[in-house]
């Protein structure tokens, strides 16, 4: 059960590393997902073309974001979709509360939505006496446990089959323990089926809102997204303002990049296009459709030309699956809704640098995340920028970020000034190195342990050196 916070990242990471079962669960899952992505992009040239196209679309749409949002609102309203704007989590939750009160809702069935996790919707609605039931299987499992998602596309990836069976045994009456995946899925489906009929409101996220047509596009594999957006009388969709795309023709390239990067699928089982409420004469569909557009720090990133690239994300999770930090500690250790590499660059805008200053340092800067990102977000360079902002006051021409200079350390500044002085005086620098070498035996044990896991490289043998020398001589 996770109630972690980003302020305690280092301790949480240490605990995760000590959890052998957790690490085994992630090891198997990450290996599987990386393999699926490789299979989805067998041709390097095609992969490059897909990523180039997706990157270009996202950058074009972001460059026109204010205009596209206005156009999206107009087109949605023409289609009968009611549009609402929320500056932050409190405003978004207030909108949900007002709509639930208007429709006297007691049960809400919810499809997978990371933005609703971001605003803490479930907890807020429970305080209002309204139960939000998660219908995505992974979300349903972690909800039964009182847990939180550990991955943006596979919420329960930190659990194995036995742990899921234990969760069902503790929470579902008459459940017979089993590790058969089909039986586990069947159990969850049976428990959720009636909820679609009973719920007064259905909630979903939105993968791609289309400004040109006022269409809300949802990507899913389980069918729960389609059920919760069509069966209840009211459908409320919530999305971040950055997700909007300009044209309907932008969707196929982004869709291909998303599914292949996320789960290695050429296409998902369901692709939903919602363009309005039920019309006269139609037999199904909601009577009302609402769209909530959430800012929650996104505007801060948008106003900075470099940091704006953060908003290109299409939430595939590929960066997490290939990150050597995330794959070893999982998502809960970060203490943020969005974990892993993408979480490290988006969370500071949502939560401020003061509370996220530890997680922006949780990177080896290996570049694996950037290499697999389908929209080519330069995550390592953005992390370097955020680290700079956390240590210093804003430079001229840049607006101060939320929590700017929060990780400022006078001791560190003095140390760096001392190093700079020594490095600019060769004799002093070399004398310091000589002293450091002689004091090697005095290094604290916990620091010395770092060198014990590193293997000293083998030096070339005399015969090998001779061969290389002869080969070089013959080329002259």
Q: Which two tokens stand for residue 425?
A: 């005086």
Q: What's the mean pLDDT in 221-226? A: 95
For 414, residues 6+ apart whose C-beta sits below 8 A from its C-beta are none
For 38, residues 6+ apart whose C-beta sits below 8 A from its C-beta are 264
Whether residue 159 has pLDDT greater than 90 = yes
Q: What is the dihedral of CA 17, 161, 219, 262, to 10 degrees?
A: 40
On the CB side of 235, CA atoms within 13 Å amount to 26
Q: What's the mean pLDDT in 306-328? A: 97
On the CB side of 306, CA atoms within 13 Å amount to 14
Predicted pLDDT of residue 440? 67
Predicted pLDDT of residue 476? 44
Q: Where are the beta strands (DSSP E) in 44-165?
A: 81-86, 107-110, 131-134
Predicted pLDDT of residue 176? 95
313 in Cβ contact with 25 (< 8 Å): no
Least confident window among 16-30, 382-396, 418-432: 418-432
pLDDT tens figures, 42-55? 999 999 999 999 99
pLDDT tens figures, 363-402? 999 999 999 999 999 999 999 999 999 999 998 778 899 9
337 or 412, which is more confident: 337
For 231, residues 6+ apart whose C-beta sits below 8 A from its C-beta are 196, 197, 199, 202, 284
Whether residue 449 has pLDDT greater than 60 = no
Q: What's the mean pLDDT in 79-105? A: 98
Whether residue 459 has pLDDT greater than 60 = no
Give CA–CA dist 356/76, Å, rounded.
Answer: 36
Give CA–CA dist 29/436, Å, rounded.
Answer: 44
Confidence of residue 415 (pLDDT cuts 50, 70, 90): confident
What are the CA-CA distances from residue 307 to residues 298, 303, 345, 381 (Å)? 10, 8, 9, 10
Residue with tokens 């014990």: 452
Whether residue 81 has pLDDT greater than 60 = yes
425 or 166, which is more confident: 166
Whether residue 128 has pLDDT greater than 80 = yes
402 in Cβ contact with 297 (< 8 Å): yes
Predicted pLDDT of residue 413? 72
Strands of the sheet with 270-274, listed across from one edge: 208-210, 215-220, 270-274
Whether residue 417 has pLDDT greater than 90 = no
Q: Which two tokens stand for residue 134?
A: 């998660």
Number of H helices, E strands in the chain: 23, 9
Give CA–CA dist 438/440, Å, rounded.
Answer: 6
Q: Which two tokens stand for residue 271?
A: 């692709």
Terminal CA-CA length for the chain:
67
236 in Cβ contact with 318 (< 8 Å): no
Predicted pLDDT of residue 155? 95
For 55, residues 6+ apart whose C-beta sits below 8 A from its C-beta are 312, 375, 376
Whether residue 467 has pLDDT greater than 60 = no
Q: Is the dihedral of CA 449, 452, 454, 460 positive or negative?
A: positive
What are the CA-CA distances from residue 58 to residues 308, 376, 377, 380, 401 (Å)? 11, 10, 10, 19, 23
122 in Cβ contact with 149 (< 8 Å): no
| C-beta neighbour count of 311 within 10 angstroms | 24
Predicted pLDDT of residue 287? 97
Q: Which two tokens stand for residue 398?
A: 């840049």
Confidence of residue 411 (pLDDT cuts 50, 70, 90): confident
pLDDT tens figures, 176-218? 999 999 999 999 999 999 999 999 999 999 999 999 999 999 9
Confidence of residue 454 (pLDDT cuts 50, 70, 90): very low
On the CB side of 63, CA atoms within 13 Å amount to 6
Whether residue 319 has pLDDT greater than 90 = yes
Least confident window among 55-64, 293-302, 428-437: 428-437
Give CA–CA dist 364/347, Å, rounded.
Answer: 18
> Mean pLDDT, the chain, as a whole number?
91
Confidence of residue 463 (pLDDT cuts 50, 70, 90): low
Whether residue 447 has pLDDT greater than 60 = no
Q: Which two tokens stand for residue 82?
A: 């009611």
DSSP state of 399: P
Predicted pLDDT of residue 120? 96
| C-beta neighbour count of 369 within 10 angstroms | 28
Overall pTM surpassing 0.75 (yes/no): yes
Q: Which two tokens stand for residue 78?
A: 């023409």
Residue with tokens 């980003």: 6
Whether residue 466 has pLDDT greater than 70 = no
Give CA–CA dist 201/131, Å, rounded.
Answer: 11
Confidence of residue 460 (pLDDT cuts 50, 70, 90): very low
Q: Which two tokens stand for residue 452?
A: 């014990």
Least confident window among 126-140, 245-259, 292-306, 439-453: 439-453
């Amino acid at each position: 059960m996770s109630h972690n916070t980003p302020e305690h990242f280092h301790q949480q990471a240490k605990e995760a590393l000590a959890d052998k079962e957790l690490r085994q669960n992630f090891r198997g899952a990450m290996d599987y997902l990386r393999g699926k992505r490789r299979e989805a992009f067998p041709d390097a040239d095609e992969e490059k073309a897909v990523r180039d196209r997706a990157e270009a679309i996202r950058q074009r749409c972001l460059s026109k974001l204010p205009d596209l949002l206005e156009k999206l609102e107009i087109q949605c309203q023409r289609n009968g979709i009611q549009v609402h704007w929320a500056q932050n989590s409190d405003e978004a939750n207030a909108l949900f509360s007002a709509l639930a009160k208007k429709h006297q809702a007691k049960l809400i069935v919810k499809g997978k939505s990371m933005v609703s996790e971001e605003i803490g919707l479930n907890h807020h609605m429970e305080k209002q006496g309204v139960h939000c039931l998660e219908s995505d299987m992974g979300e349903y499992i972690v909800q039964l446990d009182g847990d939180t998602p550990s991955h943006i596309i596979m919420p329960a990836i930190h659990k194995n089959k036995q742990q899921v069976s234990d969760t069902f045994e503790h929470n579902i009456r008459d459940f017979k323990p089993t590790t058969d995946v089909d039986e586990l899925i069947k159990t969850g489906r049976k428990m959720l089926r009636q909820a679609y009929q009973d719920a007064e409101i259905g909630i979903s996220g939105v993968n791609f809102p289309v400004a040109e047509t006022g269409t809300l596009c949802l990507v899913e594999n389980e069918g729960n997204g389609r059920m919760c957006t069509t069966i209840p009388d009211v459908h409320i969709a919530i999305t971040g303002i950055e997700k909007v795309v300009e044209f309907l023709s932008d969707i196929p390239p982004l869709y291909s990049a998303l599914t292949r990067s996320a789960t290695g699928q050429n296409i998902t089982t369901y692709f939903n296009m919602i363009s309005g409420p039920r019309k006269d004469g139609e037999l199904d569909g909601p009577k009302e459709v609402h769209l909530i557009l959430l800012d929650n720090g996104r505007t801060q990133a948008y106003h900075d030309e470099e940091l704006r690239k953060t908003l290109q994300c299409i939430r595939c999770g590929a960066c997490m699956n290939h990150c050597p930090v995330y794959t070893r500690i999982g998502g809960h250790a970060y203490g943020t809704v969005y974990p892993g590499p993408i979480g490290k660059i988006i969370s500071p805008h949502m939560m401020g640098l003061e509370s996220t200053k530890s997680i922006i340092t949780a990177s080896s800067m290996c570049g694996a995340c950037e290499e697999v990102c389908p929209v080519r977000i330069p995550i390592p360079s953005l992390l370097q920028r955020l680290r700079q902002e956390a240590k210093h006051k804003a430079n001229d021409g840049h607006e101060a970020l939320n929590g700017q200079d929060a990780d400022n350390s006078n001791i560190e500044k003095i140390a760096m000034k001392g190093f700079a002085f020594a490095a600019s005086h060769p004799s002093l620098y070399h004398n310091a190195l000589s002293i450091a070498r002689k004091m090697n035996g005095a290094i604290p044990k916990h620091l010395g342990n770092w060198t014990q896991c590193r293997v000293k490289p083998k030096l070339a043998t005399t015969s090998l050196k001779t061969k290389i020398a002869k080969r070089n001589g013959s080329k002259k």
